[in-house]
Amino acid sequence: MTKKWARVLLTSLLTAALFTGCSSAPSETKEEGTQTEAGINETTGEKVKVSLLVTGSFGDKAFNDSAQEGMKQIAEQLGDKVEVEMIEMGHDKTKFEGALLDASESDSDVIIVGTWDMKEILEQTAPLFPEKKYIIFDTDVDYASSDLSNVYSMSYKQNEAAFLAGVLAASATTSDMTYANEEATIGFVGAKDTAAVINDSAVGFIEGAQFINPDIKVIVSYVGSYVDSAKAKELALTQYASGADCVFVAAGPASVGVIEAAAESQKYVIGVDSDQALAYEGSESAEFIISSAIKGVGTTIFSSVERELEGQLPYGTYELLGLAENAVGLADNDIYQSVVPEEIRTAVEEATASLLDGKVSVSTAYGMDEATLKGIISSAQ
């Protein structure tokens, strides 16, 4: 297949997709791998080449950095079997399609992309290159739309991690921690109120907080963007000024604004996606980041490639990963251990056990009607 032909066909398919609806019904089929268990490409006899393509760039203190750590782990632990490549696609969405086509036409064996920005592009590209294998994280794909038997998709139960963040925040807000006040008020700053992934975090956070204190007040604000850190900071400053002493942020790269607001206000913040305290290690902001609701992007990328080498990765299927798969959770680092009192850490541990044992369940914003979602949010205001 020539590059010109593939690009013309893909452009036509993407254009057609704008005018047709499709429903998601993940297939249960599984395609066998083209690599041996030793991880050597059967056709070339060379190492399996795994390419990671990220939207934006590395250094985001979130998904991309986590994905990069996963690739580094692959290089360190599986380097005798795997060659890794990492590509920054930038923020221009018009270039994402071309970047994925370039990777698909290269000598890469396994191509990894992430988030909903790449969902439709991957759905149209993967069928054009059936000899390639694709992994997409933090979203699913529509397996009913075309032959996507060479695509494995996975996303995360961020509502479970957010529930634990709510337990932590609600326990901290009326504690004797240095920067806590007497008001049972906490905050949530999300990216877009139209994004199910963000609302899933909001729902989990509120339910976790109410698990500790049914009468707690949770101030909820949305940035309207994943990149407007100035607006995120403004919203957080307002929440801190309104009595919140701990804010949970789920706003992608814009989250840095909330962390800045926490440091300026000398209040607590719970980060998102990756261990934010480690990202700010050595700065004055770090001591205010008492934990982060982590999505183990890097961990699951590593485990996916490991399963691929063993011929065990279920291509053609979608998996939702949570606490049970060690794919989400709260960051446990030196700051968490030193700043958060033992009794609060114990409360988080007990809540984690309750979730794993099925004694407690968390609602999800996925499939939730708007009225129910608004009811959960308004009940906490």
Question: Same domain for 303 and 359?
Answer: no
The residue with tokens 């770090």 is 286
Assess contact for 117 and 100: CB atoms under 8 A: no
Task: Specify if 31 maps to a domain.
Answer: no
Indicate the number of domains in the chain: 2
Give the per-residue pLDDT at 31. 33
Question: Same domain for 163 and 286?
Answer: yes
Give the per-residue pLDDT at 38. 38
Burial bucket for residue 380 (CB in 10 Å: 0-12, 13-18, 19+): buried
Give the per-residue pLDDT at 10. 52
- In degrees rounded to 5, what are phi and psi of residue 280? -105, 15
Amino acid at site 197: V
Task: Specify if 214 maps to a domain.
Answer: yes
Give the per-residue pLDDT at 381. 87
Question: Same domain for 251 and 368?
Answer: yes
Question: Same domain for 310 and 359?
Answer: no
Question: Same domain for 194 and 269?
Answer: yes
- The length of the chain is 381
Give the per-residue pLDDT at 27. 33
Those residues whose C-beta lies under 8 Å from the C-beta of residue 117, and which sit 6 or more positions away, are 55, 93, 96
Question: Same domain for 238 and 290?
Answer: yes
Give the per-residue pLDDT at 22. 38
Question: Same domain for 176 and 152?
Answer: no
Question: Same domain for 144 and 183?
Answer: no
Task: Specify if 3 maps to a domain.
Answer: no
Q: What is the pLDDT along the chain (381 residues), one digit of tens a residue?
A: 444 445 544 544 444 443 333 333 333 333 333 333 335 565 556 899 999 999 999 988 778 988 999 999 999 999 999 999 999 999 999 999 999 999 999 999 999 999 989 999 999 999 999 999 999 999 999 999 999 999 999 999 999 999 999 999 999 999 999 999 999 999 999 999 999 999 999 999 999 999 999 999 999 999 999 999 999 999 999 999 999 999 999 998 899 999 999 999 999 999 998 898 887 888 888 899 999 999 999 999 999 999 999 999 999 999 999 999 999 999 999 999 999 999 999 999 999 999 999 999 999 999 999 999 999 999 998
**Global pTM value:** 0.82
Which of 362, 304, 356 minimizes the C-alpha distance to 73? Answer: 304
**18 vs 24: CA distance, rounded Å:** 16
Question: Same domain for 216 and 80?
Answer: no
CATH code, domain carrying 130: 3.40.50.2300
Task: Specify if 22 maps to a domain.
Answer: no
Task: Specify if 23 maps to a domain.
Answer: no
Those residues whose C-beta lies under 8 Å from the C-beta of residue 245, and which sit 6 or more positions away, are 172, 173, 179, 180, 181, 183, 185, 186, 267, 268
- Identify the domain containing residue 213 by its residue range: 158-294+329-380
Give the per-residue pLDDT at 291. 97
**233 vs 249: CA distance, rounded Å:** 10
Question: Same domain for 366 and 344?
Answer: yes
Question: Same domain for 209 and 237?
Answer: yes
